[in-house]
Every structure is written in C-alpha cells, then in structure tokens.
Structure 1
Amino acid sequence: MAQILLGLGSNHQAEARLTNALKRLEQKLDQLTTSDWFESHALRGGANYLNLVASASTDLSIDELRKLLHQIEDEQGRTRGDEDRRCALDIDLICYDRQQLTTENYKLPREDILEHAHVLWPLALLCPQETHPELGIPYAQLWESRKDTLLRNQTLWLLGK
C-alpha cells in the first residue's frame, strides 16, 4: 500500500464540504488521519479558506487516486476556473509513497509544501518526523526554518480539530 499525503481546502461552505470530502475519503482510503484545521487568507483574494492535511494508505495508483480526488471535488460543487474566487473544494495530492516525479499535469512531492504555510504547518503537526521526499528534512524542521517567511506571505490561524 502506498502512503499518501493530501491537502484539502475550501472557501465556500467550507466546513460542510470538507467534512463531506473526509467522509468520502474514509470510504475509499485506509488509515485516514487528519491534521488540525486552519483558517487562512486566500492567496489570490476572496473569502478565507479552511485548510487541513490528511495522511492515508491506498492501493490506488497515482492516476486512479487523482481521478478519485477530482470526483470528490466535483461532487462537492467544484468548478474549475477562478471567475468568482470561490472554491467549493480543492484536494491536492501532496506526496505519494515518497515518489519524486514530474509529469505534464503534476509534480510530486507538490511544491506547495515549501511555498505555503497552509500546507507546511499542518504537515509539521500531523507528521513532524516524516521527511520531505526530495530534501530528506523532517516537516517539523522545515516549518521551523520557513515559518517566518511563509507567515509574512499568508495569514493563518490554527483552529484545532
């Protein structure tokens, strides 16, 4: 089974959509565990987001998993595009079994880990000793070294579970 990390976020009916998404993920994935929830300013304007990170195990391939994540997003009303700055649900595959790969459609591990507080802080809390697949540095250590810079670029509040 592959060990995976997912990033989830929403800024439109966020609590209900994230809760529904987690229920669906629990049905399809094994050993689903979630970080605390965070509220963050939207990076490109719009309403604040609720964000969290989840870890799980799966027998699905990367492509099958990405298809499942898009299906869950669509079920929760996700529309692609940025017309009104509302996002019903965004589920990103952050890591898949420590693989390092780049395709036309995605990169693993996802660059958001190092670029956004709403990804790295929850990771540091959920799996502090797990290491970044490319850098080999634990997420807690990465957060400590990058938090001042990341929090200058994005305001984030820890809400709890």
Structure 2
Amino acid sequence: MNSIPFSHSASIGLGSNLGNSRSLLREAWQALDQHPLISLQTLSSPYRTRPMGMESDHWFINAVGRLQTALSPEALLDLLLATEQQFGRVRHPELEGYQDRTLDLDLLLYDDCIRQTERLVLPHPAMHERLFVLVPLAEIGPQLTHPLFNKTVVRLLAEQEANNGQKGIEQTSW
C-alpha cells in the first residue's frame, strides 16, 4: 500500500512531430508512471495538429494528460525535461524559434499555482492561445480553471474558436 500523499494535480501537454509520434507519446506517458511520486490519472485522445510558429513538413501529434503527484512544480519540470531527453529530444540552442522534436512535455497547470521564475512559468504562458492544448484539455478536464484568467478550459476554448475557428487540428486515435 502506497503511503505517499499525491496531493497535487498537474496537467501535462505532450507533443511530437518526429518518428512514430503516437507511440512516443504513449511510451513517454507510461514512463512518467514509473516515478514513485506520480500517479497517472487520464490521457486525452491524440490530435493531429499543424505546426504552429514554425516551418515544418511534419505535423504534430498532441495530447494532454492529468496526473497526481507529490513532486514540487520544479521537480516535475525536471522529470519532464529528463523524459524528453530519454526519448531522444535534442535542443539546438543555436537555432532560433520552435524546432521539430521527437518529444515535447510541457507543464501546463499545477493545482492553482501561479508562478513566474527564470525556469518555470505557471500556468503555461501560451496555453490559453493554443488549440492543440485547449482541445485535448477540454476533453479530459472541461471544468479546470485557468488560475490567472479565472476561466474554465471550455470557456477559453470557445473564445479561441470564436476568434480563429478550429483550423489545423483533428482528433485521431491511439
């Protein structure tokens, strides 16, 4: 019996546009479950999405997962970055802007935490503008509230769809 209190909820964005993206996302999600201070809750459907903010011929597969954890936000971020590396993520600091990647794991929400440091900004600073985050997050946590805007994910999604439609994203299957 596990006596560790998993007292914090977190939402994680998962993305990949290189390799077998669906498999990479599922394997990375399961790898997080190997950590003794993490309990996976739910994973959204995968969504095929057009690259945003970058030029690439490779579309992304994106999903969002919810988990419970006893890790601090910074420790969870460290785990996410280590998992990216484990799955072949290479960052090219000499290149500007977004790049193709085997795996991208973003800490979107951590409880109702609002934090801005050099290493970590919570909630994720662009999540409210990204359909590839809002659509899968609305699937698994429609009543989750963005702590800065005090709006539900469903409301943020409706606002984005009213402004931009739902271009460049389609639900697929695992």
- Shorter-chain TM-score above 0.5: yes
1:146 aligns with 2:146: no
Q: Is 2:69 the counterpart of 1:55? A: no
- Same amino acid, percent of matched pairs: 28
RMSD: 1.8
1:155 equivalent in structure 2:
168
Q: 1:150 to 1:100 in 2, by over 3 A?
A: farther
- What is the aligned partner in structure 1 of residue 76 from structure 2? 65
Instruction: Name the structure where helix makes up a greater proportion of residues.
Output: 1
| 4+ runs deviating over 4 angstroms | none
| 8 Å contact kept, 1:112–1:119 | no
For 1:17-64, what per-residue CA distance to the aligned partner results, in whole angstroms no more than 9, with x for missing partners?
112101111222213311111000111121100000000110011121
Whole-angstrom distance in 2 between the partners of 1:158 and 1:150: 18
Q: 1:45 aligns with which of 44, 55, 67?
A: 55
Query: Are 1:31 and 2:36 matched, yes or no?
Result: no
Q: 2:10 aligns with which of 4, 16, 21?
A: 4
Partner SS state of residue 56, structure 1:
strand
**Deviation at residue 132 of structure 1 after TM alignment:** 1.1
Q: What residue identity is the alignment partner of 2:42? A: T
DSSP 3-state at the match of 1:27 = coil
CA distance in 1, matches of 2:100, 2:151: 34
User: TM (normalized to structure 1)?
Assistant: 0.91
Match of 1:120 in 2: 134
* 2:86 aligned partner: 75
Distance 2:65 2:119 in 1: 22
Q: Is contact 2:22–2:46 with CA below 8 Å preserved after alignment?
A: no
1:52-109, CA deviations, whole angstroms, 9 ceiling, x for partnerless residues? 0000110011121111111110010000127594201000000111100111122100
SS in 1 for 2:155: helix
- Aligned residue number for residue 136 of structure 1: 150
Q: TM-score, normalised by structure 2?
A: 0.85
Q: Is the 8 A contact 1:117 1:150 kept in 2?
A: no
Gaps of 5+ in 1: none
2:3 match: none
Aligned to 2:4: none
Per-residue deviation at 1:149? 2.7
**Cα distance in 2, alignment partners of residues 150 and 9 from structure 1:** 21
Distance in 1 separating the partners of 2:123 and 2:145: 11
